[in-house]
Amino acid sequence: MFSRTAARALTSQSRAFSSSAARHTKVAVLGAGGGIGQPLSLLLKLDPHVSALSLYDIRGAPGVAADVSHIDSGSKVTGYAADQLDQALEGTKVIVIPAGVPRKPGMTRDDLFNTNASIVRDLAAAIARVSPEAHILVISNPVNSTVPIVAETLAKAGVFDPRRLFGVTTLDVVRAARFLGEITNADPKESVVTVIGGHSGATIVPLLSQSPFGKAVTGEAYEKIVHRIQFGGDEVVKAKDGAGSATLSMAYAGAKFANALLRGLGGEKGVVTPTFVKSPLYEDQGIDFFSSNVELGVNGVEKIHPVGPLSAEEEKLLAACLPDLKKNIEKGKAFVA
């Protein structure tokens, strides 16, 4: 049993935590009118850490903002039209970017490069000018290339801080937990899987051997679940049959990652999740962006964790990942150079 003094101490500690976790952050969504942008804006409106929500798109953001702004949570929502990007970015601490075209059946994520590279570069250039200290969460595909594009654009402007740039790979982590839960009958909250590498096909490397549930999966079942995690995006593209790619699960994943970052920025300790960041882990092989578990804190990236022990199968998956990832990163950098 707690003594009265201990109970009082706990209460004041939890008050202190809730005040550090209270609404204090202005967040922008660039691409807020889209399939991801709309539900993501809704979920961010519900996040207790968000004090203001700035919704921008080249079309439709004021309407989405008017709609979301009626929800009875504490944050203030403002929509911005195509010619109001600078106003949308003013004073933002966290910027989430789901702007750009999605896949249709038969396309790879890399097929989106020609359209999305310039969209992301131009948004990054505006961020460099108006809100260079913001934390930037890149959802737009191909993530393996768009994150280096943002990094190079910020670097050109002299404002790149690797602690504040994140490729959102959370959907791979969400899928891995769900798919593993499905085959092991575990609650997905218990069947969490670290996913490393990048965000497309063979560059997605799930580390099932590090999960108590995952390490029990072997043989054909192992091959199948790895393939499903790597190509989960294709399942949705195929089922939507020309109407786009994952939007609702991605909005959930984007809000989940944003919440983790906001908790870290608010001073919560021990917030660790995979994300695609500038990373030293495979730099000796010319790969300077990589997703692995990252501790998020008051400055953004606090600590990049090593990948940990890998099974023989995972070593093979990683060997297949690295050359593809390297090409994708180089393509992004070359675009800005």
Ligand X SMILES: O=C([O-])CC(=O)C(=O)O
Ligand Y SMILES: NC(=O)C1=CN([C@@H]2O[C@H](COP(=O)(O)OP(=O)(O)OC[C@H]3O[C@@H](n4cnc5c(N)ncnc54)[C@H](O)[C@@H]3O)[C@@H](O)[C@H]2O)C=CC1
Rounded Cα distance, 136 and 117, in Å: 16
131 binds ligand X (CB under 6 A): no
Rounded Cα distance, 78 and 66, in Å: 8
State which of residues 25, 27, 29, 34 lies at the interface with ligand Y (CB under 6 A): 34
State which of residues 27, 139, 226, 229 lies at the interface with ligand Y (CB under 6 A): 139
Minimum CB separation of residue 120 from ligand Y in Å reads 8
151 binds ligand X (CB under 6 A): no
State which of residues 245, 259, 273, 291 lies at the interface with ligand X (CB under 6 A): 245
79 binds ligand X (CB under 6 A): no
Q: Which partner in ligand Y, ligand X, none is near 236 (CB below 5 to 8 A by kind)?
A: ligand X
Nearer to ligand Y, 58 or 159 (CB): 58
**80 contacts 88 by C-beta, under 8 angstroms:** yes
Minimum CB separation of residue 111 from ligand X in Å reads 9
State which of residues 141, 170, 194, 259 lies at the interface with ligand X (CB under 6 A): 141
The one-letter amino acid code at 275 reads T
Minimum CB separation of residue 212 from ligand Y in Å reads 26
Minimum CB separation of residue 292 from ligand X in Å reads 18
Furthest C-alpha separation in the chain: 65
Question: So which residues are the catalytic ones?
Answer: 199
HEC sequence for the chain: CCCHHHHHHHHHHHHHHHHHCCCCEEEEEECCCCCCHHHHHHHHHCCCCEEEEEEECCCCHHHHHHHHCCCCCCCEEEEECHHHHHHHHCCCCEEEECCCCCCCCCCCHHHHHHHHHHHHHHHHHHHHHHCCCCEEEECCCCHHHHHHHHHHHHHHCCCCCHHHEEECCHHHHHHHHHHHHHHHCCCCCCCCCCEEECCCHHHEEECHHHCCCHHHCCHHHHHHHHHHHHCHHHHHHHHHCCCCCCCHHHHHHHHHHHHHHHHHHCCCCCEEEEEEEEEEEEHHHCEEEEEEEEEEECCEEEEECCCCCCCHHHHHHHHHHHHHHHHHHHHHHHHHC
258 binds ligand Y (CB under 6 A): no
141 binds ligand Y (CB under 6 A): yes
The pair phi, psi for residue 28, each rounded to 5°, is: -115, 145
Nearer to ligand X, 25 or 38 (CB): 38
State which of residues 25, 26, 28, 33 lies at the interface with ligand Y (CB under 6 A): 33
The residue nearest ligand Y at its CB is 34
What angle do the packed helices 170-184 and 232-240 form, to 10 degrees?
90
Q: Which partner in ligand X, ligand Y, none is near 237 (CB below 5 to 8 A by kind)?
A: ligand X
Nearer to ligand Y, 108 or 311 (CB): 108
State which of residues 42, 58, 126, 202 lies at the interface with ligand Y (CB under 6 A): 58
Minimum CB separation of residue 18 from ligand X in Å reads 34
246 binds ligand X (CB under 6 A): yes
Minimum CB separation of residue 261 from ligand Y in Å reads 15
Nearer to ligand Y, 160 or 276 (CB): 276
- Partners of residue 197 on adjacent β-strands: 204, 291
Q: Which of residues 153-182 bind ligand X (CB under 6 A)?
A: 171
State which of residues 39, 79, 98, 162 lies at the interface with ligand Y (CB under 6 A): 98
Kindly list the residues in this chain that would bind ligand Y in the complex (CB under 6 A): 30-31, 33-37, 57-59, 98-103, 112, 116, 119, 123, 139-141, 143, 168, 171, 199, 244-247, 250
Residues that bind ligand X (CB under 6 A): 102-103, 109, 141, 171, 233, 236-237, 245-246
